[in-house]
Structure 1
Amino acid sequence: MNAQVDVLEHVVIAVDGTSGSGKSSTCRAVADRLGLRYLDTGAQYRAVTWWMLEQGVDVHDAAAVAARAGEPVLVSGTDPLAPTITVDGVDVSVQIRSDEVNAAVSPVSAVPEVRARLVAMQQAIIAPPGGRHGGIVVEGRDIGTVVWPQAELKVYLTADPAARAARRALENGGVDAASIAATRESLLARDEIDSGRAVAPLTMADGAVHIDSTELTLDEVVDAVVGLVMERR
């Protein structure tokens, strides 16, 4: 195990992909299995969105969001078994998963000033200046393209819309047909916004390995990613 940890000491695994494709569960399990840190960049964008809503900022007014993008103080925990996200010292891990944040996160994430600030934060977490920091699994939508294109392994994780909607609806406590249909429309709308935004659109990075999780169990996806990591090391 020590030899493995030494080999993976500075490895960066970048996992991008669509909402509901299993990124969070996969990344946390991979990080835990390999003894690595974990960073959910989507939680950071959600945290900023939550803060904007709390402050009464019109999230559809890009100039208003940009003007206050530097104010919230964010801290991301990197323990894959207990990831945390705080804003101004308050744990908002639950609040950032609300319907209100779900509906507002894409327009906030598209604001260049928000992305510039959070990308800089993410890069500092991946490789803190001046010291040993350990390897990390980072999930998001622009990790392999913008945040850390030099990652040793880049994965692009997807699943078909029906499977993603069923998974996300189940996470949110709704398993009836109406809940799944509404979730599917929400996911597709976010995909369209994220893929079409001018800054850091959702796209598969050069050299990324595409994994379609539609017909795979979580363990099978995790095994595939861990296998790819070990092949490259």
Structure 2
Amino acid sequence: MDAPTVAAAPILVAIDGPAGSGKSSVSRASAARLGFGILDTGAAYRALAWAARETGSDLDDEAAVLALLDSWRYSSTLIGDQRIGVLLHDGQSYRTYDVTAAIRDHAVSGQVSRVSKHPGVRERLNRMFREIVADSGLPGVVIEGRDITTVVAPDAPVRILMTASPEVRAQRRAGELEGLSHEQVLADIAARDAKDALVVDFMTPAPGVTLVDTSELDFEQSVQAVVDIVRAVQGAAEEGK
């Protein structure tokens, strides 16, 4: 009797980087070109903040947020347009909410740090991210967000730190944010970098992490840089078999 065929684990591409580095858009385009899925971990934190507000949970109480995690269910499309779903109990029964647009609301964005600051919450969500990738059934998944290369997926065969100079990141962000000048966005990025520097180094790659500086790269060149890194690792793996 033949042994059952075991599906190969998805190739995991972990991408970290500060705001304005091109991380999110480049990750999504790279995943599409490679035929991989894309998992935006920040969306899960946004969805949790939305759920906490919706249920009246205290976002600053770690035990309350962990209790919410016990009862909710999170879903995210990995291929095609991003759709985010949350399953919550409304007091009588479970109901599924499409929160794709709601989690991008400014009122939700401003609360994300209140749920992400809890170590237990981050540990639980990191476990969830790994399970989503493992159960994806895809040849590979690009996973992007904060602490991806060092905490969420430190053993990923491809780990990339995508960065750019503060001036370039401010220019890109200013083009996305109406009503704000380049100087205002640059000041905001500088403040955010200073805050991030207390817990993570977005400018120096950890051992085994490849640095991709997009300061002098356009969008297409940035995507190709990621694709080239992934294909080089795939090629080396094939040669090693």
Q: TM-score range by the shorter chain?
A: 0.7 to 0.9
Aligned residues: 217
Gaps of 5+ in 1: 1-7
CA gap of 1:182–1:51, structure 2 versus 1, over 3 A, is farther
CA gap of 1:158–1:77, structure 2 versus 1, over 3 A, is same
TM, length-normalised to structure 2: 0.79
Conservation of the 8 A alpha-carbon contact between 1:14 and 1:139: yes
Q: 1:39 aligned to 2:39?
A: yes
Q: What do residues 37-71 of structure 1 show as CA deviations (whole Å, max 9, x unaligned)?
A: 11101111111112222333443444543443433
Query: What is the match of residue 86 of structure 1?
Result: 85
Instruction: Report the AA paired with residue 37 of structure 2.
Output: R
Conservation of the 8 A alpha-carbon contact between 1:60 and 1:108: yes
User: How far apart are 1:90 and its partner, in Å?
Assistant: 1.6
**Structure 2 CA distance for aligned equivalents of residues 69 and 188 of structure 1:** 33
CA gap of 1:104–1:119, structure 2 versus 1, over 3 A, is same
**Structure 2 CA distance for aligned equivalents of residues 206 and 146 of structure 1:** 13
Query: What is the match of residue 161 of structure 2?
Result: 156
Identity of aligned residues (%): 40
SS in 2 for 1:141: coil
Q: 1:54 aligned to 2:54?
A: yes
SS in 1 for 2:110: helix
Query: What is the match of residue 208 of structure 2?
Result: 207
Query: What is the match of residue 5 of structure 1?
Result: none
Query: What is the match of residue 123 of structure 2?
Result: 116
Gaps of 5+ in 2: 1-7, 88-95, 235-241
Instruction: Report the AA paired with residue 116 of structure 1.
Output: E
Conservation of the 8 A alpha-carbon contact between 1:66 and 1:112: no
CA RMSD of superposed structures (Å): 2.5
CA gap of 1:60–1:159, structure 2 versus 1, over 3 A, is farther
**Structure 2 CA distance for aligned equivalents of residues 25 and 143 of structure 1:** 16
CA gap of 1:56–1:185, structure 2 versus 1, over 3 A, is farther
Deviates more, 1:131-140 or 1:145-154: 131-140
TM, length-normalised to structure 1: 0.81
CA gap of 1:208–1:51, structure 2 versus 1, over 3 A, is same
Q: 1:196 aligned to 2:203?
A: no
Conservation of the 8 A alpha-carbon contact between 1:106 and 1:190: no
Conservation of the 8 A alpha-carbon contact between 1:142 and 1:202: no
Instruction: Report the AA paired with residue 126 of structure 2.
Output: V
CA gap of 1:212–1:226, structure 2 versus 1, over 3 A, is same
**Structure 1 CA distance for aligned equivalents of residues 190 and 207 of structure 2:** 23
Conservation of the 8 A alpha-carbon contact between 1:106 and 1:194: no
**Structure 1 CA distance for aligned equivalents of residues 187 and 104 of structure 2:** 17
SS in 2 for 1:151: coil
**Structure 1 CA distance for aligned equivalents of residues 191 and 73 of structure 2:** 29
SS in 2 for 1:70: helix
Q: What do residues 157-182 of structure 1 show as CA deviations (whole Å, max 9, x unaligned)?
A: 1122333233234324x1541xx444
**Structure 2 CA distance for aligned equivalents of residues 182 and 63 of structure 1:** 37
CA gap of 1:187–1:67, structure 2 versus 1, over 3 A, is farther
Query: What is the match of residue 22 of structure 1?
Result: 22
CA gap of 1:105–1:185, structure 2 versus 1, over 3 A, is farther
Tell me which structure has the larger Cα radius of gyration.
2
